[in-house]
Structure 1
């Protein structure tokens, strides 16, 4: 009997070993800092040796902040003076982006830890939706997330384009001479990013003849781990759906028209369905009828919505009022969510990825829905 299972057992062990090696290799690759293109020779890397000359040939200089329409926690002239001789972390973000929001605890912690050692963080707020261009809305978000570093409003994406950027969030770190030495797209990579901050601060302080000693301990904050099989982001504005139409209602998108939507009996995972009359707008759907609903069969452990308009939303899961064990942080009594300021609301949170059918019922004409995002 044992001889009959010996070959499959050996094969299974070999496969398992291969998977482990591959996983370790991918993990090692993932842990590497995402540096911008430049000179990657040993001479070009950050060094703790004060005698070693850093070869910066091939590294790009950080561009000027251009087309800025507003300043928070700073003034234009003040910010220009602050940048001089500082290690600068440029964080390109927007306040209704859940991926951006998840990075903020780390960024604010770095600001608190290193701002008096030569680190300057500049939040470049580049909006995805029109309501994010309003400086008062951005100020509310800055207060909500405890941001004390300078934030500039890049409403026309001129600085975004100057950085040749295409992503939210994205972090660039420039050394004290203005060369971009590190580039990271998206969430994660926090330990690698902080190590780069430490190395560049040490390099700066040695170059300027300052005390180069710095703590090597890293900020410890639990990272959110998204499910790989989660539902992708769902967009409700007709201008955002090219190549990814996830509207399951048979009436479809009709730009700038009021459409009386219906929900079919058969529904597909990762699609959304509407009931009631909704106006198709460039970035959103606006409720026109006295009431309406949104149904989403989804997969994930967290559900977030981006909305505008003062409204009370009733949340149901699988045909029943959402259980308190699944409440997102913005859900109140009896499964109700009061949305007021335009922005991001967390409505479902579970301990693991699950499949459910979510329904949002609303009785407030003028309510707008922009996106659903899942974790």
Structure 2
């Protein structure tokens, strides 16, 4: 397939990829003249045709959207994302900017929300995140991965551009490539104008939008805390603790890019949950920012310590106040921000009561 693919930072899922659903019917879209037939014939030889949204589980900012109804009228950007993914979150300011600049010019962004964790299937959680990020374009819940599988996707985030004739002409995996993506959007919008007989050209302004987060020198990989993908837990008492509650004690020096638990914790498929009245997570990281995907049914307070000292405001993340963080909504919490000065440190999250579930550490 003659598609441009950029490989940059992104997340790959662990779901088995199945065969995609059938293509939309290209005969639905007009080819009344020889030039249109020639244009579409050339594209058929180079590109795949768009796939339809499959079995949506809910809509936000729209009463319902289909690819079919937009082809022949709009340029479509399909963005696969999930709300607790830091890689996805860092792309949202660009998507919001493109929606603001180009929606009136014929661009429609469809955010396909395909969940990494079970809590991301909850409509209320996704709606809260959409409002928090200021997203105004349509978001479609893809809880069963059917649209994801139709596009044979494996990454969060991933963007596809669909042209006026319904062909997937651009494909970008992960973060970055924003100028290239915007240039392609404008190119397709101008092609659309020509096809529809509209006058003038769409101009481009690739200035970075407000709210863009910079990435520092990250050397610690994304770290999962659930039994299905736990890899860097350094003090598992025994193999039986993969499926039951166990008491954890810190063992010696915590090596870089590993974490240890303290207290009674239960490893569940996606998360580690504190069972005892108090407990800690210790993480030895190399990065400039530390986030944790976590939540609790009731508010849970935790104190943060960096290299043994209570975290001061200078290095506190966005969700930290006076060296503490309150966990409740299942979300991504920014704990540490070293203001661009990435380095190796040990973070302790000292949890004050039971009930906290931690899913993953991510970095920036």
Same fold (TM over 0.5): yes
Provide the TM-score with structure 1 as the length reference: 0.83
What residue number does 1:126 align with? 114
In the alignment, the residues of structure 2 paired with residue 163 and residue 33 of structure 1 have an alpha-carbon distance, to the nearest angstrom, of 15
Q: Aligned ranges for residues 221-236 of structure 1 at < 5 Å? A: 221=209, 224-236=213-225
Q: Which runs of 5+ in 1 are unaligned?
A: 1-31, 37-49
SS class of match (2:242): coil
Residue from 181, 184, 209 that aligns with 2:169: 181
Q: Name the stretch that deviates more: 229-238 or 298-307.
A: 229-238
Residue from 243, 261, 271 that aligns with 1:274: 261
In the alignment, the residues of structure 2 paired with residue 78 and residue 191 of structure 1 have an alpha-carbon distance, to the nearest angstrom, of 27
What is the number of residues matched between the two proteins? 327
What residue number does 1:138 align with? 126
What residue number does 2:227 align with? 238
What residue number does 1:261 align with? 248
Q: Which runs of 5+ in 2 are unaligned?
A: 8-34
Is it true that 1:108 corresponds to 2:79 in the alignment? no
What residue number does 2:301 align with? 312
In the alignment, the residues of structure 2 paired with residue 260 and residue 267 of structure 1 have an alpha-carbon distance, to the nearest angstrom, of 18
What residue number does 1:293 align with? 280
1:109: Cα distance to partner? Answer: 0.5
Shift of the 77–33 alpha-carbon distance from structure 1 to 2, 3 Å rule, reads closer
Is it true that 1:34 corresponds to 2:23 in the alignment? no
SS class of match (1:341): coil
Residue from 135, 148, 167 that aligns with 1:160: 148
In the alignment, the residues of structure 2 paired with residue 77 and residue 121 of structure 1 have an alpha-carbon distance, to the nearest angstrom, of 11
What residue number does 1:251 align with? 237
Is it true that 1:321 corresponds to 2:310 in the alignment? yes
In the alignment, the residues of structure 1 paired with residue 243 and residue 283 of structure 2 have an alpha-carbon distance, to the nearest angstrom, of 23
Q: Is the 8 A contact 1:35 1:182 kept in 2?
A: no
1:259: Cα distance to partner? Answer: 1.0
SS class of match (1:103): helix
1:224: Cα distance to partner? Answer: 4.0
Higher helix share: 1
Q: Name the stretch that deviates more: 98-107 or 337-346.
A: 337-346
What residue number does 1:11 align with? none
Provide the TM-score with structure 2 as the length reference: 0.85
1:302: Cα distance to partner? Answer: 0.5
Q: Is the 8 A contact 1:270 1:298 kept in 2?
A: yes
What residue number does 2:25 align with? none
RMSD across aligned positions (CA): 2.1
